Amino acid sequence: MNVRQGYRVELAPTLQQRARLGRHAGLSRVVENFCLEKVKAALAQREAEKTYGVPDAALTPVPWSAPALERLWRAEHRQRYPWFTDEGLSSRVPKEACRVRAAGFRNFFDSRSGKRKGRKVGFPGWRKRKHGSRFRYDAGRAQPEAARWIRLPSVGKVRTLDDMSWLTNRIADGRARVLGSTVREQAGRWWVSFQIEIDRRDINQQRIVPADAPACGIDVGVKTFATIVDDDGTITEIHAPKPLKAALRRLRRAGKAVSRKRLGSSNRAKAVKRLAKVHLDVASKRADFLHKTTTRLARSKRAIAVERLNVTGMVANRRLARAICDLGFGEFFRQLAYKAEWYGSSVWAADRWFPSSRLCGGCGAINRDLTLADRMWACGCGLEHDRDVNAARNLLAVMLLEQSAA
């Protein structure tokens, strides 16, 4: 069975290739803003036509779709942006930029109509240089040619810092193919992310969870990232590195250094890069912890019971927002779900309103007076509970009960 997944490697471009990558990122930004300009101009024209009494069927059409935006770009870029042809930039980048902008419009309307779940998406805005450098290639235009070389259209053969044998071997024998790629710059470093379709059966079979592996319940929290209770009674605690908390002093110093530099100066650009480097270090440490933790759990537990948290609502608490964002609960559950599917495990999520911490595992009574500050609490039946251990044990018990009844 083929699945879709991402595969990211860091590039080691030469100075000339860095400049070339930067030009393609600028091209993508220009095309996205061109598309937004055309849509806003069409909307303004429609409003004007309505005041003249023009019927709805005869109003100026709005180019919402990627093909319509691409046609406008092809018709006008020679006059408005002659440097695009003169510099020999890739024609695939504008095509993908039109698709990105069309997807933004579609997400906006789907969010308003209720088709798109989650937080409401606003109308796309102008893309600026400070929003970051990135561009896309469609299909297999960008391909890994060897273990440490990638060919990017109109950029050339770029060396990578990571060994890609895992991917190149599978592309060579037909077990994987590239669907698209995104090139992105962060803190002066360049990465390429491949969206691939791959047959993972051999990989998953080698790392499949053992049949006699334990089932577990997991309670996540701010003080202890994860409290794990196995069905054999084993209790394990996992503590997160909290990289943002550890880097707050560095972030403050780097932020002050940026604010003290003159706008537009080279010193300010250097200070911005140093600040971005601290942010990248924080994100990398968090991602490393989450990937290692979720992989270990998915490959060692046959069934996992978790909570279904309202992370957005939790972040609304201004006293806990920074700590919760530093832990990455949403990403933890997302990774755990797809990795469990890879390795033959299963993830069961309790109802959002299930009182896992308040429920006594002995008598079933609910302690409605429990607060976040209460780490230990005693039930009227005589049992004394550790808040996190009790929650994980209750999640495990409910999952096993549902599985036995099914």
Catalytic residue ranges: 219, 307, 388
Q: At what angle do helices 66-80 and 92-113 cross, to 10 degrees?
A: 140
